[in-house]
Amino acid sequence: MTKRKRVIYATKDKLEKVNPKNKAYYKAYRNSRISANSDMKNTTYKTYQSFFNHFLVYLMEHWDNLDLYSEEFQLMAVDIMEGFMVFCQTELGNNKKVINTKLSAVSSFFHWSVRRGRVDHHPFDGKLERVQGANDEKIIAEHFLTQKEVNKITRTLAKREDGYDIIDQLIWGIMMDSANRVGAVSKLTISSLDLENMKFNNIREKRGKLVEVVFNKGTKKIIEEWLEMRKDMDNLEVDAFFVSYYGGEYRPMAVTTLQERIKRIGLILGITDFRSHSIRKTSLNLIFEMTNNLALTAQMANHKSVETTQQSYIKPQSKTELRDEINRMRNK
């Protein structure tokens, strides 16, 4: 049996490009742990450092070297970690035991950071499932919905029955139309809304980058209805576009609340692990299928390179689909 060639991922040249703040954070953590238990310096802590370096390089290459203690990281932590899990399996060929150890390495760092008062809370504790099942199973399910499935969700939400309301319609409509990340959608405000041109302006996304969040005519009508409804909501003085009422007042809706609503939207199709990234992947994949223009799709995704779009946001064709496409071309 031929062994799989070992992949050297966290190379010296890549580590040199890692955010120096992140390296300093981890150095402080490692020194603290070694001072408490020096016997583990060359065993567990050495393994954890190696695995944490993999995570830092991944963060550098795929998430613009995001500061681990930044608000942006806290907001996007679950998506980042889920992406890291998939990357470890598909690109590094790690088995489930190794991937879970890598998650533990990152999680232990944040538990320490909370104890030291460096962050208020652990950004993904209790929100991320560890790898389970056989090694050949997908770690995180990928949902590329068909246009027919998208239409079914749209029609179901429009009825506003079974616990679905106008907020669910807006989340679905804006995310499908814009293909933006949930981190940007959670920051939408009334003051940033340009209804006439059907967009929200200057919304902060990854690494503080300012982006537009666009929407189409169908969603515009729902937004107009929501703006009228807000006028009748007593003491609603919050600029946030999505709001929740708790503690006797209206407040900006938390990202976790948005994610819970998105998960319930997936139940329309019987999908129990539907996520915000499922909507983003679906939207971008359908754009590519309609236009066959990878550059345009990458622009909608706010990606710097088309490679990122093609690798993670375009549904891979099965062997059967490839065969059928080849036969269609032959018969032209």
How many DSSP H helices and E strands does the chain contain?
Answer: 14, 5
Alpha-carbon distance of 112 to 45, in angstroms, equals 14
The pLDDT value recorded for residue 26 is 94
Alpha-carbon distance of 23 to 16, in angstroms, equals 10
Q: Which two structure tokens, joined as six digits, stand for 277? A: 């990234």
Q: How is residue 137 annotated by DSSP? A: S
Check residue 89 and give left, alpha or beta (phi > 0: left; psi -120 to 50: alpha).
Answer: alpha
Specify the 3-state DSSP secondary structure of 2: coil
Alpha-carbon distance of 49 to 46, in angstroms, equals 5
Alpha-carbon distance of 287 to 216, in angstroms, equals 14
The pLDDT value recorded for residue 4 is 43
Alpha-carbon distance of 188 to 241, in angstroms, equals 5
The b/e string for 135-174 (b: 16+ C-beta within 10 A; e otherwise) is eeeebbebbbbeeeebeebeebbeeeeeebeebbbbbbbb
- How many residues are there in the chain? 332
The pLDDT value recorded for residue 140 is 61
Which residue type does 217 have?
K
Q: What is the block-wise mean pLDDT of the chain (332 residues), using blocks of 10 residues?
A: 55 93 95 82 81 94 92 88 87 86 92 94 81 50 90 97 96 97 91 97 79 96 96 89 89 88 95 90 95 93 86 81 78 73
Alpha-carbon distance of 125 to 102, in angstroms, equals 14
β-strand partners of 213: 200
CA 58 from centroid of its chain's CA atoms: 14
Specify the 3-state DSSP secondary structure of 330: helix
Q: Helix 217-231 and helix 166-178: axis angle, to 10°?
A: 140
Q: What is the CA radius of gyration of the chain?
A: 22
Alpha-carbon distance of 116 to 46, in angstroms, equals 22
Alpha-carbon distance of 21 to 5, in angstroms, equals 32
Residue of 53, 52, 54 whose CA lies nearest to 89: 54
Check if the beta carbon of residue 183 is closer than 8 Å to that of residue 72.
Answer: yes
Alpha-carbon distance of 298 to 305, in angstroms, equals 7
Q: How is residue 189 annotated by DSSP? A: B
The pLDDT value recorded for residue 332 is 67
Check if the beta carbon of residue 200 is closer than 8 Å to that of residue 194.
Answer: yes
**Could you tell me what percentage of the chain is helix, strand and coil, using 3-state DSSP and rounding each to the nearest 5?**
55, 5, 35
Residue of 95, 9, 82 whose CA lies nearest to 52: 9
Check if the beta carbon of residue 236 is closer than 8 Å to that of residue 230.
Answer: yes
